[in-house]
Amino acid sequence: MTPAVETTGLGKRYGRHWALSDCTLAIPTGRVVGLVGPNGAGKTTLLSLAVGLLSPTSGSITVLGAEPAATGRQMERVGFVAQDTQLYSTLSVADHLRFGAHMNPGWDNDLAQRRLEQLDLDIGQRAGSLSGGQRAQVALTLAIAKRPELLILDEPVASLDPLARREFLQVLMEIVAESEVGVVLSSHLVADLERVCDYLIVLVSSRVQVDGEIEKLLASHRHLIGPRRDPSSLPKNQQVIEASETDRQSTFLVRTEDPILDPAWTVEEVGLEDLVLAYMRRAPLAKRVRLASPDVEP
Amino acid sequence: MIEFHLNTRSGVSPYLQIVHQVRQALRLGLLREGDQLPTVKEVVARLAINPNTVLKAYRELEHEDLVGARPGIGTFVTKALSDAPLAEFRPLRHDLQRWLVKARRAGLDDESIEALFLDTFRSSAEAGVA
């Protein structure tokens, strides 16, 4: 199957600063994919390149097998909602609908009307007077009414209160259930991602640290707690992602496909948040060690 | 019709929570043969969870022959989980109450009782007794 987004050596430079460099990844299609990573990882740059708001400095990117925003047809295939939801504050909601219908031959006006009715807002209202939650919902409605194959959402709920956030995700999941649109969603809120996504990508410094089906990731990671032990003495099939120790005890986060048989370990499941944090902490280690002065612990 | 809820702190995966809630509702008699389960769309619109989570739970229940999908209509209960609802297990409940009295007399607090029960339950399940 053609990936939703596929990049090879993708880079974007602003002056001397690389916002994204040598990024190679494949985001599967027909899923709800969570993209998570620290600030500056390149998530927004990557998603902006995917919708054609930016063009690459180096490398290549295809979205649903084609160049982003190269044709009107390609723009119709991809819906986009950004964090600072791009509505025109002086135009009414109804104006936005007319604009969307004008720009997109495949525009589903019934769908847009139905969604907006559910939101209980006056479509004569100017976009500038909407609440943050309503603005996000209108932006989602506009993105979905063109019946895209892929919906790209860049931190759509970051600035919303908990209730508006939950309502946004409820509507998003309803849309996925009825239209089977693929979704790529970036967020810092791992608990949200765990609810709504079935696939996760952890991106740090333009590199994929780990990716896969969330259920498989959770099933293949374990905390091992036991008497102090050298990480290199663990079996080959247990990859140590993170290790910490006291004078007596070792705690490892390991990735393994096999059951842990060593009775010396207390084995615990790993939550998604801990898993993400471990990969985020692990990633820049090489860089940090290089920068550290000799008397600073790496 | 029943409504699902999600406990995000339980550590139990969301799809299993749905499976457990259906089984529990069957045991308690809240769901009977012929009753319809909420549609996938209804569940995701309420809980804000991934549709595949619900589909997976329903498939598992189908696999256990507890429910059946009627294409285009929905998912329906095909079998009661137990012939007798929980209320009819009075002698067992009585045994358990007697055991609890003994455990308290032995000086166990609630947490220790729960741990002892779960530990015994797990080890007998592993041994294939339960």
- The length of chain A in residues reads 298
Percentage above 90 pLDDT, chain A: 71
Residue A158's φ and ψ, nearest 5 degrees, are -55, -35
Is the model's pLDDT at B86 over the cut of 70?
A: no
Q: How far is CA A262 from CA A218, A226, A229, A254, A267, in A?
A: 20, 10, 13, 13, 10
Confidence of residue B92 (pLDDT cuts 50, 70, 90): confident
Q: Which of A213, A207, A226, A231 is nearest to A279 (CA)?
A: A207
Which residues make Cβ contacts (< 8 Å) with residue A83, sequence separation at least 6?
Answer: A154, A155, A156, A158, A159
Contact A177 B41 (CB under 8 A): yes
Contact B50 A196 (CB under 8 A): yes
Residue to mutate among A195, A261, A272, with most B CBs inside 10 A, is A195
Q: Which of A205, A128, A206, A143 is nearest to A175 (CA)?
A: A143
Spatial contact of B54 and B43, defined as CB atoms under 8 Å apart: yes
Which residues make Cβ contacts (< 8 Å) with residue A288, sequence separation at least 6?
Answer: A298
Residues of chain B contacting A174 with CB distance shorter than 8 Å: 41, 44-45
Confidence of residue A296 (pLDDT cuts 50, 70, 90): very low
Confidence of residue A288 (pLDDT cuts 50, 70, 90): very low
Q: What value of ipTM does the predicted structure carry?
A: 0.80
Q: Which of A133, A136, A174 is nearest to A153 (CA)?
A: A136
pLDDT digits (tens, 9 = 90+) for A98-152: 999 998 888 999 999 888 888 878 888 898 888 888 899 999 999 999 999 999 9
Confidence of residue A289 (pLDDT cuts 50, 70, 90): very low
Contact A198 B40 (CB under 8 A): no
Is the model's pLDDT at A195 over the cut of 70?
A: yes
Mean pLDDT of chain A: 90
Contact A195 B52 (CB under 8 A): no
Confidence of residue A297 (pLDDT cuts 50, 70, 90): very low
Q: Does B113 touch chain A (CB under 8 A)?
A: no
Compute and round to an integer the Cα radius of gyration of chain B: 18
- For B44, which of A174, A194, A269 is closest by C-beta distance? A174
Is the model's pLDDT at A290 over the cut of 80?
A: no
Strands A182-186 and A32-36: parallel
Q: What's residue A298's pLDDT?
A: 40
Residues of chain A contacting B52 with CB distance shorter than 8 Å: 198
Closest CA–CA distance from residue A271 to any residue of chain B (Å): 7
Q: What's residue A120's pLDDT?
A: 79
